[in-house]
Copies of this chain bind each other. A is one copy, B any other.
Amino acid sequence: MAIEGSSTSSTRRIRLGMVGGGRDAFIGGVHRIASRIDDRYELVAGAFSSTPEKSKASAADLGVADDRAYGDYVEMAKREARLKNGIEAVAIVTPNHMHFPVAREFLKRGIHVICDKPLTSTLADARKLAKVAEASGALFVLTHNYTGYPMIRQAREMIARGDIGAIRLVQVEYAQDWLSEPLEETGQKQAGWRTDPAQSGAGGSTGDIGTHAFNLASFVSGLELSQLCADLDSFVEGRQLDDNGHVLMRFSGGAKGMLWCSQVAPGNENALKLRIYGEKGGLEWAQEDPNYLWYTPLGQPKQLLTRNGAGATAAGQRLSRIPGGHPEGYLEGFANIYTEAADAIVARRSGNPIPDGVMFPGIDEGLAGVAFVTACVESSRRGGSWVKFGTYCKR
């Protein structure tokens, strides 16, 4: 548990730019807080909005110099790549369909990319981006932020070391209620682009939150999905994208699972829950109460593990900042992704390998996420028939 890293002053903070995240946006502010919490980044440039004026106004709010505020991400990428103290990394916080073109501009200039999820709005784009990333010397970090929660790291570590034995079952769900009514018709911006196929891609709830659930289940379990069967719905009249998804899953090696994502389940705010059962025990975690992890060894009393408390593993402790009983939340988990990325970027600077234990979701996870959405949509269109997942994941 190290709150601040030691380094020489000039390179102490990573120079960060941002695309998107202007005055009306939500997730941009989250990325900025996440980047500040451990003091590893300095925001120095941005194309915060699509016009120079708006972008400069946001820059002023954020303490970014006026001449580093751009109205165009291509211009930004070109100029920052040439500047002596240009950005080392860029955070992409635009709607989904822009992730690919924006990331490409920075990656091809060797600037590290920290990109919001899902990777892209289409599988074709995802595959292209994978190639661009592979060809680039820069890192690609996808903010599947829930993987940054300490108890999620602990769960992953416990499974990897065999605490619950061979996995049989993966039950994961992410339920919300904010789209129970046609909010997009009121002009609400967040609802607008999330329910618009042109900006979001083919998946609604599957893309917005189903990908988080799928990513989390994969990250913690270490299992590979082999087949799925999906039944998607748009319960709100007139909605073009799914607002509920029911998915059966078969994993390589024989484990089975269920995934439920919904944005029309009243009473659920951000109810992401993961339960994994193996031959010897089970683990249960809920995002809304993230400092707890239930561990249920077969035939023994149930244990409620707490973040940084008794029974904490190395991985769980490493990502904790404060003692158990003092809750850390969503922003700290998000910050862990940024801090892990910082460790990797610093290693790259000096030509070192990424330190042991440092991990973050990247292109592979991003491609799998878009493949998941695509496979769900196709399975559902075929009346809910089983599809092989591997074919969608191919690059």
Contacts and interface: CB of A to CB of B under 8 A. Distances in A.
Interface in A186-232: 229, 231
Tally of this chain's copies:
4
A264 interface: yes
Interface stretch (A87-95, A272-280, A348-356, A364-372): A272-280
A262 to B, nearest CB: 7
A9 interface: yes
A304 B294 CA distance: 10
A180 B267 contact: no
A329 interface: yes
Interface residues of A, number: 95
A238 interface: no
B288 A327 contact: yes
A270 B181 CA distance: 35
A357 interface: no
Interface stretch (A101-109, A120-128, A295-303): A295-303
Most chain-B Cβ atoms within 10 A of its Cβ — which of A39, A246, A257? A246
A96 B288 CA distance: 35
Nearest to A280: B266
A388 interface: no
Interface in A18-38: 29-30, 32-33, 36-38
A305 B301 contact: yes
A331 B197 CA distance: 38
Nearest to A383: B386
A39 to B, nearest CB: 6
A323 interface: yes
A386 B296 CA distance: 34
A15 interface: no
Contacts of A332: 329, 331
A84 B171 CA distance: 57
A65 B10 CA distance: 11
Most chain-B Cβ atoms within 10 A of its Cβ — which of A8, A269, A289? A269
A137 interface: no
Nearest to A328: B329
Contacts of A6: 60-61
A384 interface: yes
A37 B331 contact: yes
A4 B294 contact: no
Contacts of A65: 9
A324 to B, nearest CB: 5
25 contacts: A5-B61, A9-B60, A36-B36, A37-B37, A39-B63, A169-B244, A169-B262, A176-B325, A180-B298, A231-B248, A262-B277, A266-B296, A266-B297, A268-B282, A268-B325, A270-B325, A271-B325, A287-B326, A290-B327, A299-B310, A300-B311, A301-B304, A301-B309, A327-B329, A329-B329
